[in-house]
């Protein structure tokens, strides 16, 4: 393996995946949420630049091609695990999260089973859109969990309506309020909408890979 800049970025993205969970072990909330968000977004940005730089500088390698999808999957799986835990097991999150996690395990199993024929399951443009949607959704959901914690501290037992009234009177911090609904609620709704889109794309790509592998799963193949 050559320690090129693209390969180094990929390795750093892989290391950032568990780092997202570690933020919640060593920092109090909401600092943990903000650090996890910053780390996740920074790592997600490298997902574009490592491939772009590898093609630009003609530094594409087998190591990078192998590690890139692993780093992406590790980032998504670990981040979803953390967000699901801190979201209070929201059923609107659990279902798309289950689809995403199931697909990643299923496709990885298919690749392992196919062995030398795994090249049939090349990353498609739809799969790239799937990964992009997943990362955008996770970033927005991290923003929502951080804002939710801040709002809980600021409200001190008040309802959102009571807190919004204090904001209108200039007696409370407007940064932590987006009206009676709350900024965290808006961020969470947007994040859930995007992760449902990601789950649909995830299902479609999983089905596409299964269809390509199907001829090799028959006993007479």
Give DSSP secondary structure letters for 7-64.
Answer: HHHHHHHHHHHHHHHHHHHHS-TTHHHHHHHHHHHHHHHHHHHHHHHHHHTT---HHH
Geometric angle at alpha carbon 145, from 183 and 134, rounded to 5°: 100
**Beta bridge mates, 180:** 178
Q: Is 96 domain-assigned? A: yes
Q: Is 87 domain-assigned? A: yes
Q: How far apart are CA 201 and CA 209, in angstroms?
A: 12
| Full pLDDT tens readout for the chain, 221 residues | 677 887 888 888 899 999 999 998 889 887 888 999 999 999 988 888 887 777 877 777 777 777 888 888 899 999 999 998 887 778 899 999 999 999 988 888 887 777 766 566 676 788 889 989 999 999 999 998 888 877 776 667 777 677 777 777 877 766 555 655 667 788 889 999 999 999 999 999 989 888 887 777 776 65
Which pLDDT value is given to residue 176? 57
Q: How far apart are CA 85 and CA 1, in angstroms?
A: 37
Structural domain that includes position 193: 5-216
Question: Structurally, how many domains does the chain consist of?
Answer: 1
Positive/negative CA dihedral, 27, 28, 31, 34? positive
Q: Is 174 domain-assigned? A: yes
Give me the torsion for CA of 69, 74, 80, 85, rounded to 10°: 170
Which pLDDT value is given to residue 110? 81
Q: How far apart are CA 130 and CA 57, in angstroms?
A: 26
- Closest by CA to 189, choosing from 143, 153, 132, is 143
Q: How far apart are CA 137 and CA 80, in angstroms?
A: 10
Whether the model pTM is above 0.75: yes
**Which CATH number goes with the domain that contains 57?**
1.20.120
Which pLDDT value is given to residue 6? 79
Q: Is 147 domain-assigned? A: yes
Q: Is 36 domain-assigned? A: yes
Which pLDDT value is given to residue 119? 62
Which pLDDT value is given to residue 139? 94
Which pLDDT value is given to residue 37? 92
Q: Is 221 domain-assigned? A: no
Which pLDDT value is given to residue 133? 93
Query: Does residue 170 come out as left (phi exceeding 0), alpha (psi in the -120 to 50 range) or beta?
Result: left
């Amino acid at each position: 393996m050559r320690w090129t800049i693209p390969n180094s970025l990929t390795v750093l993205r892989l290391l950032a995946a568990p780092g997202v969970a570690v933020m919640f072990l060593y920092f109090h909330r909401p600092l943990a949420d903000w650090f996890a968000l910053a780390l996740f977004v920074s790592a997600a940005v490298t997902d574009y630049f490592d491939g772009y730089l590898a093609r630009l500088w003609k530094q594409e390698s087998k190591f990078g091609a192998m590690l890139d999808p692993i780093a992406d999957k590790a980032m998504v799986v670990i981040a979803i695990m953390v967000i699901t835990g801190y979201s209070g097991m929201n059923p609107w999150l659990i279902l798309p999260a289950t689809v995403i996690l199931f697909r990643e395990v299923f496709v990885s199993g298919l690749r392992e089973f196919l062995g030398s024929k795994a090249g049939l399951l090349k990353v498609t443009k739809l799969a790239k859109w799937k990964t992009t949607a997943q990362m955008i959704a996770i970033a927005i959901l991290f923003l929502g969990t951080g804002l939710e914690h801040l709002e809980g501290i600021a409200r001190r037992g008040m309802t959102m309506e009571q807190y919004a009234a204090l904001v209108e009177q200039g007696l409370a911090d407007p940064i932590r309020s987006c009206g009676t609904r709350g900024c965290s609620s808006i961020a969470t709704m947007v994040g859930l909408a995007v992760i449902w889109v990601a789950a649909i794309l995830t299902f479609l790509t999983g089905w596409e890979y299964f269809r390509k592998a199907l001829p090799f799963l028959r006993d007479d193949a």
